[in-house]
């Protein structure tokens, strides 16, 4: 079996974001997170709830690419019922981030001043409610200092510094868990809840990460490498979840 690609390493890092989540709903933005959730459910987190993308909870979600067998339907979950999971904290979403700062404030609404933006993006969407209601992680397919910024232009998702200023009853479920990029994995396990470099992907060094980050990261000692996918996980990705290789389009191999 050939060595793991950068995209496959990112996908398994996304899978690890769901570790020990148990029976909660997994929602994903992006190819790597979608593959990661499928890896988690197929291996170490079988109780994870996943949908067909429309209105049912399924025992085995469809592949990201290529044909798949018809899944067994386990439950009816129309869109309106998703909010019961959201508001009760029974969900872990990995959202995309156009900008993110050192405390986990997130933006995918627009670039520039909100009243007259340079570029209109997705809008606020469900990010404010997600971030104060349940576990939220972020996926950045192409990290740069334009994405990891000192201050986001617009706050879509609530970071730790802003959450600390709100009524504790409103933020009791606030949990910005991880940020996963094509370079590294980050968490907020620091005294002031600022972003910490948790691991760097094989082939990436700390200097590259710092160069592509627009704020000071917490870097503690020798930073470990992100784990490689197991042979079982590589087989799942290549033969079952993504046989057409969509992951390589989202995360190309570094030159």
Measured from the Cβ of residue 92, the count of other Cβ atoms closer than 10 Å reads 25
Burial zone of 33 (CB within 10 Å; 0-12 exposed, 13-18 middle, 19+ buried): buried
Query: Lowest-confidence range among 65-69, 147-151, 239-243?
Result: 65-69
Name the pLDDT band for 3 (thresholds 50, 70, 90). very high
Q: Domains (ranges, CATH) in the chain?
A: 6-238 (3.40.1080.10)
Share of the chain above pLDDT 70, in %: 100
pLDDT for res 188: 98
Mean pLDDT of the chain: 94
* pLDDT average, residue stretch 193-214: 98
Q: Which two tokens stand for residue 62?
A: 């469809």
Residue 25 backbone dihedrals phi, psi, to 5 degrees? -80, 130
Percentages helix, strand, coil for the chain (3-state, rounded to 5) are 25, 20, 55
Q: Quick check: 168 pLDDT over 70?
A: yes
Q: Quick check: 69 pLDDT over 90?
A: no
Question: What is the pairing mode between strands 99-100 and 106-107?
Answer: antiparallel
Query: Lowest-confidence range among 2-6, 17-21, 111-115, 212-216?
Result: 111-115
- Using only C-alpha atoms, the chain has a radius of gyration, in whole angstroms, of 18
pTM value? 0.95
Summarised one tens digit per residue, pLDDT across range 173-185 is 999 999 999 999 9
Burial zone of 162 (CB within 10 Å; 0-12 exposed, 13-18 middle, 19+ buried): middle
Q: Which two tokens stand for residue 176?
A: 């910005």
């Amino acid at each position: 079996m050939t060595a793991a690609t950068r995209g496959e390493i990112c996908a398994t890092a996304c899978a690890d974001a769901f570790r020990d989540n148990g029976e909660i709903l997994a929602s994903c933005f992006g190819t790597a997170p979608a593959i990661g959730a499928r890896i988690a459910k197929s291996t170490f987190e079988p109780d994870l709830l996943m949908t067909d993308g429309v209105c049912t909870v399924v025992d085995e979600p469809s592949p990201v690419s290529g044909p798949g067998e018809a899944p067994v339907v386990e439950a009816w979950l129309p869109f309106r019922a998703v909010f019961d999971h959201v508001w009760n904290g029974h969900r872990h979403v990995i959202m995309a981030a156009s900008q993110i700062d050192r405390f986990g404030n997130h933006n995918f609404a627009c670039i520039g001043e909100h009243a007259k933006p340079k570029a209109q993006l997705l809008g606020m969407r469900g990010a404010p409610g997600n971030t104060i209601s349940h576990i939220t992680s972020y996926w950045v397919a192409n990290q740069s200092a334009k994405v990891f910024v000192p201050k986001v232009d617009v706050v879509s998702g609530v970071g730790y510094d802003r959450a600390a200023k709100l009524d504790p009853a409103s933020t009791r479920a606030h949990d910005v868990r991880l940020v996963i990029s094509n370079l590294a994995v980050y968490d907020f396990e620091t005294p002031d809840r600022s972003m910490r470099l948790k691991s760097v992907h094989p082939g990436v060094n700390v200097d590259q990460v710092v160069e592509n980050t627009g704020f000071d990261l917490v870097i503690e000692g020798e930073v470990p490498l992100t784990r490689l996918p197991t042979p079982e996980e590589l087989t799942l990705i290549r033969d079952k979840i993504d046989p057409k290789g969509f992951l390589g389009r989202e995360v190309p191999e570094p030159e």
